[in-house]
Amino acid sequence: MLQQTQVERVVTRYLRWLQRWPTAEALAEASAADVIVEWQGLGYNRRAVNVHRAARVVADRGWPEDLTELPGVGPYTAAAVGNFAFGRDVLPVDTNVARVQERTGAAFDASCAQALFDLGATVCLARVPRCGVCPLAERCPSRGSRYEPLRKESPFEGSFRQRRALALRAVAAGEQPPDTEAVAALVRDGLVSVIDGVPSLPA
């Protein structure tokens, strides 16, 4: 849920999700349609399908040693889950952690993960770092530096991502969306099935 989605948007949805599906086994028994509907508003709906598929793998075979074997789980997510859920000695490197590493030139071990996440999100900011309150500033070779803004993601309003979201919402409501291109993209991602020309959420 936290992949490219702000914590503030995730927290209440995560808690509600766990009330409904407290275990991987409970989630595995849900229909894909229910999972997709519950995910609405969190963005990148393909993640809903992947987390559902992953839950079914876990329910069937248990947690794999290599978490990247689960659908939708890449190296970063595997490292984050491995560190925080299983206590593995692996450092998950997201944008914030990579920024702190690059600017300080320091090597951090897995025990520093949460501190690095927080530092990168609240102190070692992308453009204007708050070096005056940084606990690493004294030894940081980048102290006092300012940075050019990174390229912003294209706006959601009017984008194909928005068209897909609107089409998925229509299908979930039992309607026939007029945007056939968006529906075709949803079908490719496993978010929608089309039978006899009628789109519906997968079973």
Radius of gyration of the chain (CA): 20
Are 103 and 83 contained in the same domain? yes
In a domain, 1, yes or no: no
pLDDT of residue 64: 96
pLDDT of residue 55: 97
CATH (domain of 105)? 1.10.1670.10
Are 94 and 59 contained in the same domain? no
Q: Which domain holds residue 177?
A: 160-200
Are 137 and 78 contained in the same domain? yes
In a domain, 63, yes or no: yes
pLDDT of residue 151: 66
Choose one of 20, 42, 73: the last residue of a domain. 73
pLDDT of residue 58: 97
**Residue position matching structure tokens 């508003």:** 41
pLDDT of residue 44: 86
Are 111 and 166 contained in the same domain? no
Could you say which residues of the chain have pLDDT below 70?
A: 150-153
In a domain, 155, yes or no: no
pLDDT of residue 153: 65
**Exposed, middle or buried: residue 99 (CB in 10 Å: 0-12, 13-18, 19+)?**
buried
Are 91 and 118 contained in the same domain? yes
Are 16 and 54 contained in the same domain? yes
Are 23 and 66 contained in the same domain? yes
Choose one of 73, 100, 118: the last residue of a domain. 73
pLDDT in tens, 33-72: 999 999 998 888 999 999 999 999 999 999 999 999 999 9
pLDDT of residue 50: 95
Are 62 and 96 contained in the same domain? no
Are 88 and 116 contained in the same domain? yes
pLDDT of residue 7: 85
pLDDT of residue 152: 66
Domains held by the chain: number: 3
pLDDT in tens, 136-153: 999 999 999 998 876 666
